[in-house]
Each structure stands twice: as C-alpha cells, then as structure tokens.
Amino acid sequence: MSLRLSLLGMLSSHSMTGYDLKKMADNTIAKFREAQTSQVYRELNYMEDIGWLTSVIEIQTEKPNKRIYSITPTGREAYLEWLKESPLDEEKLNVSVFLMKTFFAGDRSVKENLDIFKQFKQACQRKLAEIEASFRELAEFQIKLPEHQAHAPYWQLTSNFEIAFYNMCIEWADKCVKAIEIQGAK
C-alpha cells in the first residue's frame, strides 16, 4: 500500500517509466521500503486499472521502447489524501510509513507539516506511556512463569530499546518542527 502511494508520489512531480521509478526508489525511500522491479510493474498496472495513472509508449530505435506513466487528477487526489492523513488517522503509529510521507512532505503546506509533526510527537509520548504499562504486564508474566528467570534480563533489554526508540523519535520530531519553522519563515 505505502509502496503504491510512494510510486504515485514520485509520479506526481514527473512522468516516468517503471525503470526510472525503481532507480529513484533505490536512491530515496529504499531505507524505509524496498521496491522490487516486479512489484513496481505490478503496482503500475494496478494503478492504471483503477485510473490513477495513464501510460504512453515511446518508441525508441537504439534502445528498448519505454512506457511512460503519468498521474491522473484522480491519482493526484488519492496521493494528496494519503499525504494529509496524520499519524493518528492511520490505525496505528507506523514510523516507517511516517518517514515515507516525510519524504514527500514538500507536497504539504508548511502549516500542515507543523501540525503533523506535533501530532507525531504526541503519539510517541503516548506510546511511551503504553510501554510503561506493558512493562508491568511483562513483570506479571514473569511472576507467573518463574522458570523464565534466565530470560528476564533480556526482556528488559527489549523494553529499554523501545523506550530509547520513542525518546529518540520525540527529540527528532522537535528538531523537525524547529527546522520547518525556520524554513517557513523564509
């Protein structure tokens, strides 16, 4: 789903071939979501079927012909709607999807971006609170299963990771807000 929308996002600034999209994805969003060639072509077919894209074949003599995809108004609408969704509208806080959207955030207004990053921060703070709660649950679980003693210290390490992760996200979100404010002031 999010690969689909990312391809759409790339096509929203340029018409391109599947081949170009694959290369662009490798250079940009690959860290959050890899794009297999086969999946790229499948998604393009699908989006053409549902009317988000149209394609034209360009005949070349020295090189293989290429099929150039362009976004349609319906496609652009779908893309902007996806971008607009805040991390709270999505069923759960999915950080890698959030990062993919950040990659396309230039297609949102500065105000929208400020709001979204602030919401993201709050969502992370709530996550931290949840982790504390599940910490207690895990402790109860440990009491019920005393034979798991050897495992307990490592369970703690995974909880520590989560806490460090969301704290990092919060700090990052703060820095993003500042950066966007400076950008917006220009």
Contacts with DNA by CB under 7 A lie at 1-4, 17-20, 23, 33-39, 41-42, 44-45, 60, 62-68, 91
Q: At its nearest, how many Å lie between a second copy and the CB of residue 45?
A: 26
Out of 27, 64, 89, 146, name the contact with a second copy by CB under 8 A: 27
Pick one of 99, 125, 132, 143: the residue that binds a second copy (CB under 8 A): 99
126 binds a second copy (CB under 8 A): no
Q: Residue 33 or 76: which CB sits closer to DNA?
A: 33
Q: Is 162 in the site for a second copy (CB under 8 A)?
A: yes
3-state secondary structure the chain: CHHHHHHHHHHCCCCECHHHHHHHHHHCHHHCCCCCHHHHHHHHHHHHHCCCEEEEEECCCCCCCEEEEEECHHHHHHHHHHHHCCCCCCCCCCHHHHHHHHHCHHHCCHHHHHHHHHHHHHHHHHHHHHHHHHHHHHHHHHHHCHHHCCCHHHHHHHHHHHHHHHHHHHHHHHHHHHHHHHHHHC
Candidates 38-46, 53-61, 69-77, 98-106; binding stretch for a second copy (CB under 8 A): 98-106
Which spans of this chain sit near a second copy (rule: CB under 8 A)? 13-14, 24, 27-28, 31-32, 99, 102-107, 113, 131, 134, 137-138, 141, 145, 147-148, 150-158, 160-162, 164-165, 168, 171-172, 175-176, 179-180, 183
